[in-house]
Amino acid sequence: MSDVTATKQSLVRLDDIRDAAARVSGLVVRTPLLPSPWAEDLWLKPESLQPIGAFKLRGATNALHRLDLEHRRAGVVTHSSGNHGQALAYAGRALGVPVTVVMPDVSTPLKIEATRGYGAEVILVPQSQREVVAKQLMAERGLTLIPPYDHPDIIAGQGTVGLEIFEDLSSVDVVVVPVGGGGLSSGVATAVKSLAPHVAVIGVEPALAADAAESLAAGMVRVWPEERMLSTIADGLRTALSELTLAHLSTYLDAIVTVSEEEILETVRTLARKARLIVEPSGAVATAAVLHHRDELPAGRTVAVISGGNIAPELAARLFGA
């Protein structure tokens, strides 16, 4: 059996996502679907309203619930630019699981301190070393690795966003979702396409970190140099796809759109001013595609997923100042 065939056979199913929804119920916020009268046919799914400020709580909670008691007691480790680390720390505190998070030393101080605040041990390393160090800790300490996106339990948990979108707006025509490592977009696309194959699911990423678009076009994971990925302000979207997330997106995603840094920042301002939502740059890319690239998207009732709201205070001051 080829690696590609094996990966295709391991795709998350709709039943996996429904099971995840039952596990996380009561532990994560069922975020509302907000109409946007200031933009035609647009609804917002604000995952920024989760307790840790991002959708990542869904996958982290589902993954920890799936561990047996022995592995829970031993603890878990992950690597994260911030939001997944916060989510795992928060879920670990709720479920009594010790958590260690390996974070890039370029992560925003807000995310580092928030992760520590939820009780996790945080280890800072260069961006390129985060996965290496996490795997070393797993071996040395007997921890279970809970990756930020490259795992069926994570993808299934994130897919609950797609379930909720369809439950709240069954007449939806287009769902637009950010793409970083691909966990959220894989889960949402799987849920939406399994429920309603006619609905278009569009991925969005920064033009300065458009490795997913390149990977989808090539049919294989393309990894961009670290210094190139660091050029985007959308720090949560600086990660390459995995074989597993590429397989999901190749199967379910209809298209991928890129947005500029200027469009991202303008959308952060717009969401604060018109939707009364505080959104980090990574969380704004889907809405940016709707506002600035409408001609590249299918027509109809559109839902944009806002993936997170953990904006750095200094950036917020610059964008929302006088």
* Residues recognised as catalytic: 56, 307
The CA radius of gyration of the chain, in Å to the nearest whole number, is: 18
C-alpha to C-alpha distance for 223 and 242, rounded to whole angstroms: 10
**Helix, strand, coil percent values for the chain (each to nearest 5):** 50, 15, 30
Conformation bin of residue 269: beta by default, left when phi > 0, alpha when psi is -120 to 50: alpha
Report the alpha-carbon distance of residue 99 to residue 122 in Å, rounded.
9
- Cα separations in angstroms, 65 against 19, 41, 156, 182, 184: 11, 37, 12, 21, 18
Q: Is 73 left (phi over 0), alpha (psi -120 to 50) or beta?
A: alpha
Amino acid at 71: H
129-to-76, 134, 148, 171 alpha-carbon distances in Å: 18, 8, 15, 44
90 Rama sector, left if φ>0, alpha if ψ -120 to 50, beta otherwise: alpha
Longest dimension (CA), the chain: 60
What DSSP assignment string belongs to 73-131?
A: HH-EEEE-SSHHHHHHHHHHHHHT--EEEEEETTS-HHHHHHHHHTT-EEEEE-GGGHH
What is d(CA 278, CA 119) in angstroms, rounded to the nearest whole number?
Answer: 25
Residue (of 127, 137, 190, 187) closest to 158 by Cα position: 187
